[in-house]
Amino acid sequence: MKIAVLGAGAMGSLVGAHLKKGGQQVFFVDPYEAHMKAVQEKGITMDLEGREEETVRIDAAVTKGWEVGCCDLVILLVKGMNTERIILENPELFGDHTVVISLQNGIGNADTLAGIFPRDRIGYGVLKSSATLTKPGKIKGRVKFPYSSKGVWFSPLEKNTRYAYVFHELEKALNQGGFPAALSEETEKILWDKLYINVLYNAPCALLQLAGEDFMREEDGKKLLKELAGEVCRVANAKGIPMDEKEYWEKECENISQVPKGEHHFTSMVLDVFYERPTEVEFLNGAVCREGKKLGISTPYNEAVYYLMKVRQKTYSLIYGKQ
C-alpha cells in the first residue's frame, strides 16, 4: 500500500518507520521542515527501549501533501484541534478510495473525520506506545507500554466496510515491522482506558506545570485526580464500557508508587502550555464532559479543569510578568 503519515512527529515517525519495515511504501507529511529534511536525507533513527539504535529510510519526508499525491491509506497523527485544517491543506493525499485512520489522542476524532469523509473509509485507534523527538530525524521511545500486550489497537468506523482489506493489511504490516498491533473489536474500550490516563495527567499537570507522579504524590493533588478518574469511569460505564472505579484507581496508585522519586515524566500538554501552544483538552476532559451530558452523568471536576485550561490557553500573553 501507499501510506502517508500526516503528522509525522515523534509518534507518527514511530508508526511510519515500522510500516516501512513491514514492507509498505511510506511517506511522512509534516510542517516541521527541519525534521522532514533530516528524515529525507538520512532516514528516521530510532532509539527504542530494549533494542539497538536503528535507522529506517522512508520513501519521502515532505512538508506538503502535493509532493506525495493520492494514497491508499492516510494515518492521522496531528493534534485533534488541527484535524480539519491539516486535511484541507493537503487535499492531494485523498482520493475517492483513500482510507483515513485516526490514531490521535482522546475522544471525538472519528466524529471530525465523519464530517469530511464517508464513514466506510474511516478508522480509529489508540496507541499504547510512546516516543519523543530528541532532535530532527531522531526519536526515542518504545513500541508498547510494559503493561500492554499491544502497541496499537484500531478498528473501522463501519464494521462491514468494503475497505476491510486495508485494515487487515495495516495490521499485518505493523506486526511484520515489529510494532505489536491488533485489528480489534475492543478498540473503544482501549480508547477509554487510555483516556483515563490522559484525563488525569494532561490538563491538571499542564495547569501547574508538574510531572504526573509529582502531582499524584501531593495529597491534595491525589484527591483531585481521584475525582476526575471517577467521572471518567462513570461516563464510560453509562456508555456500556465497563470500567471499575475502585479497580482502576488502585491500579493507578500502584503504578505511580513504582516510579522512582527522581524521575519526572512530563506529558505533551505540559509542554504545550510551557511553549504557549493550543492543547488537546477538547478531546480529553472536554470529551468526558460532552459524553457525560449526553448520558445524564455529572462531571463537575472535569468541567472545572476543562474551563481552566480553556482560559489558560487563551490568555498566554496576559500571564503575570509578561506585560
In the structure, what pLDDT confidence band is assigned to residue 256 with cuts at 50, 70 and 90? confident
Whether 67 shows a pLDDT value over 80: the answer reads yes
Q: Is 0.85 surpassed by the pTM of this model? A: yes
Question: 159: which residues sit within 8 A by CB, 6+ positions away?
Answer: none
pLDDT given for residue 247 in this prediction: 96
**What is the structure's pLDDT at 323?**
66
Residues 21 and 71 in one domain: yes
Confidence (pLDDT) at 225? 97
User: Considering the chain, what is the average pLDDT of its residues?
Assistant: 95
**Strand ranges for 150-308 from DSSP E:** 152-156, 181-183
**Listed residues 138, 170, 185: the one ending a domain:** 185
How many folded domains does the chain comprise? Answer: 2
Question: Where is the domain boundary, 185, 217, 244?
Answer: 185
Q: How many CA atoms within 13 Å lie on the side-chain side of 5?
A: 28
What's the mean pLDDT in 52-76? 97
Q: List the CATH number of the domain containing 207.
A: 1.10.1040.10
Average pLDDT value for residue range 18-35:
97
Lowest mean pLDDT among 143-152, 191-200, 228-237: 143-152
19 is a domain residue: yes
For a pLDDT cut of 70, what percent of the chain falls above it? 100
70 band by pLDDT with thresholds 50, 70 and 90: very high
Helix axes 219-238, 285-295, angle to 10 degrees: 50
pLDDT at 257: 83
Q: Does residue 323 belong to any structural domain of this protein?
A: no
Instruction: Quote the CA–CA distance of 206 and 222 in Å, as a whole number.
Output: 15
DSSP 316: G
What's the average model confidence in pLDDT over 295-314?
A: 97
Mean pLDDT of 90-106: 97
Is 129 in the same domain as 223?
no
**Domain of 226, in residue numbers:** 189-318
Of the residues 165, 185, 205, the one at which a domain ends: 185
Q: Are residues 39 and 153 in the same domain?
A: yes
Domain of 95, CATH number, reads 3.40.50.720
39 part of a folded domain: yes
262 in the same domain as 138: no
